[in-house]
Amino acid sequence: MATSRRTVAVAAGQVRSTSRSPLDVPAQYVKGVGPARAVQLARLGLHTVEDLLYHAPHRYEDRSHLASIASLVPGQKQTTEGVVLALSEKRHGAYQFVAALSDNTAVLQAIWFGQRYLRRVIRRGTRLIVHGKVERAGRLQMMVEEFEILTGDDTDTLHTGRIVPMHPATEGLSARVLRTIIAQALSQYRDGVPEVLSPAIRHRHDLLPLGEALRAIHFPRSLPEADAAHQRLAFDELLILQLGVLMRRQALQTIDKGVRYAGDGDLLHRFISVLPYPPTRAQRRVLDEIAADLRRPAPMNRLLHGDVGSGKTVVAAAALWLCVGGGYQGALMAPTEILAEQHYLTFRRLLAPLGVRVGLVTGGAAKREREHVRDALRAGDVDVAIGTHALLEEGVTFGRLGLVVVDEQHKFGVTQRATLRRKGFHPDVLVMTATPIPRTLSMTLYGDLDVSVLDEMPPGRGAVRTYVRGPEKRPEVYAWVREQVGSGRQAYIVCPLIEESEKLQVEAAVRLAERLGEEVFRDVPLSVLHGRMRPEEKEQVMDAFRGGTTKILVATPVIEVGIDVPQATIMVIEDADRFGLAQLHQLRGRIGRGTGASHCILLSSLATDAARERMETMAHTHDGFVVAQRDLELRGPGEILGTRQHGLPDLRIADPLADVAILELARDEARRLLADDPGLTRREDAVLGRQVRRRFVVRTTVAVG
């Protein structure tokens, strides 16, 4: 994570070199660091003074209360102070260094293990603060975890006798060493760090000055002071993030993409008239939002968010139709070949009646075919290109690309989305996702996007029931599936997830299909589907399943995304505990698409608490929003947020889940600032402006968030 932060800073640095600031000084120049320590620091992602100053503790230990030795309580972790009366070492067995400490109330044997160097630093008469577990083994003793030598009248302790910061450390670089280095960095460089916020902003939100906050986040005098420091630093970080995102958005608003929407409201009516069903109210509303965007001179930059099965595909098709109706081409990118092929079929069905020519661009197609489609796209003989990553290849060019749609956008990185949009002149962009995230998070991640929500399921969906069964119930589960299939239903059997290798994954699927075909489902038409099949093979398998000739589809988790076969109503997921919640929800979204009742069976051993939690969540919740919230709670925001994947700088201090209130303040402040000073060029905002530009590349070709 930390390495990525570097990359962002470097990339931005190329755009605009920042003025010399103590923050940019290499960590190696901090007193006491040197080349060897610098290498260890780099392993933690700490390269500069800035990295050190912003390496916040993950917790604090209150060692400010000094107990007298006589009042120490065996069994507790405590802190005390005394003068060394006598020293001894135990050399047989594990090395121990023992100092008898006295504070005139009693004597304590302070014990260290294996630290021979101590005999050089601790002498008779040395005054010490020690912290550790107190024990009574005949004599009163303490297993020392932290200690500090007090010299002269120096009362500023680092490791004991205060609220002590515990920094994320690593092998070879203890929290103690890190604490010392950070204290040094603070004393050397803190005064030179320029204040980022104007006095007006600081007063408005009652925030500590930056220098104070940097000291107090590491070495607070009280826990409320640590909170205040966090508040200040998190505010900075979120403000900079919001400013960057809003400035991107601002930059986009100034672009004139040219007129590319034919604009007669008839287009939408014509689309709806060929749809096999009326659009839901939510679909109508979203389509109106999109049409309004297309009409504007600035390019659309919109996120369509709707739970699995809410009908995003139709919305994409309508948007592409509006674009084609205006005389432009459109492209839709999907993360897997199977999904691209399915979309290709759907779009042909929906759009061919309107005279739209649809082409398929995947890596798996034969060379001649690929070239044929490429030529047609370049010449403008194909109106809509549906494809995978293959769309990004250099050879794929468009005559007049007007709209880019990215399906399952969380499966792509920023650069991929940016590559696709560069194939047109500021095309309109629609990204779609089924991964719901709470509003505050979307403010952070998608702040530069307009958001549309499909909050309604198409009517007439049968209920989905979810059951969790132990592996010993497998025979019964299969017998039940047999029975169901016998009465005309269709089923998915999803193989266990093998993350290490696709090859192993594929082998496992093939083996499972063989075994099931021979042993359990001998007279049932069954096929296997995996990512390594040739495109024609995949197509055949999907066709047969869609057509109902195949009753059971044994599949690798490739079917996770997008697949739509409404009459399949049963799903068995093998070793379901290997999947994350979001994945399980996506998988389960493959059923419950038709009118009949659907059943999802999770085969899982419930070996761990985490597995049990996930399975229970799945059994009780079918609402994607709730599942996502639970996922967030179980895994923490870091993994799911993936700010880097969104082309945003990592958050070092703020936790967008816990710091919601700060996030909202920062957002309001960002709006207010930009309203008065859109380029952040006023003198009092100049440092802030530099910080934003340092972290964000604000260009007119904006990366889609």
Minimum distance from residue 304 beta carbon to ligand ADP (Å): 9
Task: Please give the C-alpha separations between residue 624 and each of 461, 559, 584, in angstroms, as whole numbers.
Answer: 16, 18, 10
> Residue 263 or 566: which CB sits closer to ligand ADP?
566
Among candidates 360, 312, 357, 343, which has minimal Cα distance to 542? 343
Minimum distance from residue 180 beta carbon to ligand ADP (Å): 54
Minimum distance from residue 464 beta carbon to Mg ion (Å): 17
Total residues in contact with ligand ADP, by rule CB under 6 A: 17
Cα separation, 271 vs 352, in Å, equals: 11
List 308, 334, 392, 627, residue binding ligand ADP (CB under 6 A): 308
458 binds, among ligand ADP, Mg ion, none (CB under 5 to 8 A by kind): ligand ADP
List 79, 160, 313, 416, residue binding ligand ADP (CB under 6 A): 313
Q: Does 325 bind ligand ADP (CB under 6 A)?
A: no
Minimum distance from residue 202 beta carbon to ligand ADP (Å): 45
Q: Does 280 bind ligand ADP (CB under 6 A)?
A: yes
> Residue 129 or 454: which CB sits closer to ligand ADP?
454
Cβ count within 10 A of residue 4 = 14
Q: Does 643 bind ligand ADP (CB under 6 A)?
A: no
Looking at residues 416 to 455 of the shown chain, list those that interact with ligand ADP (rule: CB under 6 A): 434
DSSP string for 453-468: EE-SPPSSPPPEEEEE
> Residue 313 or 444: which CB sits closer to ligand ADP?
313
680 binds, among Mg ion, ligand ADP, none (CB under 5 to 8 A by kind): none
Q: Which stretch binds ligand ADP (CB under 6 A): 60-68, 73-81, 149-157, 272-280?
A: 272-280
Q: Which stretch binds ligand ADP (CB under 6 A): 150-158, 291-299, 312-320, 414-422?
A: 312-320
β-pairing, 127-137 with 77-90?
antiparallel
Binding mask 531-570 for ligand ADP (x = CB under 6 A): ---------------------------------x-x----
Minimum distance from residue 305 beta carbon to ligand ADP (Å): 10
Cα separation, 672 vs 680, in Å, equals: 11
Q: Does 592 bind ligand ADP (CB under 6 A)?
A: no
> Residue 168 or 458: which CB sits closer to ligand ADP?
458
Cα separation, 131 vs 145, in Å, equals: 6
Q: Does 462 bind ligand ADP (CB under 6 A)?
A: no
Give the chain's length. 705
β-pairing, 107-113 with 96-102?
antiparallel
Cα separation, 556 vs 495, in Å, equals: 5
Structure tokens at 378: 């370049």
Minimum distance from residue 56 beta carbon to ligand ADP (Å): 40
Cα separation, 354 vs 350, in Å, equals: 8
695 binds, among Mg ion, ligand ADP, none (CB under 5 to 8 A by kind): none
> Residue 79 or 435: which CB sits closer to ligand ADP?
435
Among candidates 441, 418, 432, which has minimal Cα distance to 643? 441
Minimum distance from residue 14 beta carbon to Mg ion (Å): 38
Q: Indicate the burial class of 127 (C-beta count within 10 angstroms; 0-12, 13-18, 19 or more).
A: middle
279 binds, among ligand ADP, Mg ion, none (CB under 5 to 8 A by kind): ligand ADP
Residue with the CB atom nearest Mg ion in the bound state:
562
Q: Does 588 bind ligand ADP (CB under 6 A)?
A: no
Q: Which residue has the tokens 């691209």?
A: 340
SS3 label, residue 28: helix
Main-chain phi, psi angles of 228, to 5 degrees: -65, -40
Helix 660-676 with 223-253: angle, nearest 10 deg: 40
Residues that bind Mg ion (CB under 5 A): 562
> Residue 9 or 315: which CB sits closer to Mg ion?
315
Minimum distance from residue 435 beta carbon to Mg ion (Å): 12
Q: Does 48 bind ligand ADP (CB under 6 A)?
A: no
592 binds, among ligand ADP, Mg ion, none (CB under 5 to 8 A by kind): none
Among candidates 7, 48, 46, which has minimal Cα distance to 24? 48
Terminal-residue alpha carbon distance, the chain: 18
> Residue 159 or 411: which CB sits closer to Mg ion?
411
Minimum distance from residue 49 beta carbon to ligand ADP (Å): 48
Contact 97, 120 (CB under 8 A): no
Q: Does 693 bind ligand ADP (CB under 6 A)?
A: no
Q: Which stretch binds ligand ADP (CB under 6 A): 208-216, 220-228, 246-254, 302-310?
A: 302-310
- Dihedral over Cα of 378, 383, 387, 389: its sign: positive
Strand order in 401-406's β-sheet? 358-361, 384-387, 329-333, 401-406, 428-433, 301-306, 450-454
> Residue 410 or 667: which CB sits closer to ligand ADP?
410
Q: Which stretch binds ligand ADP (CB under 6 A): 95-103, 137-145, 303-311, 681-689?
A: 303-311
Q: Does 131 bind ligand ADP (CB under 6 A)?
A: no
The DSSP letter of residue 173 is B
Q: Indicate the burial class of 612 (C-beta count within 10 angstroms; 0-12, 13-18, 19 or more).
A: middle
Exposure letters 662-691 (e unless 16+ CB within 10 A, then b): bbebbbebbeebbeeeeebeeeebebbbbb
Q: Does 309 bind ligand ADP (CB under 6 A)?
A: yes
> Residue 56 or 290: which CB sits closer to ligand ADP?
290
- The strand ranges marked E within 335-400 are 358-361, 384-387
* Helix or strand (DSSP H, E) at 43: helix 34-43
* Residues in contact with ligand ADP by the rule CB under 6 A: 277, 279-280, 283, 306, 308-314, 434, 458, 564, 566, 593
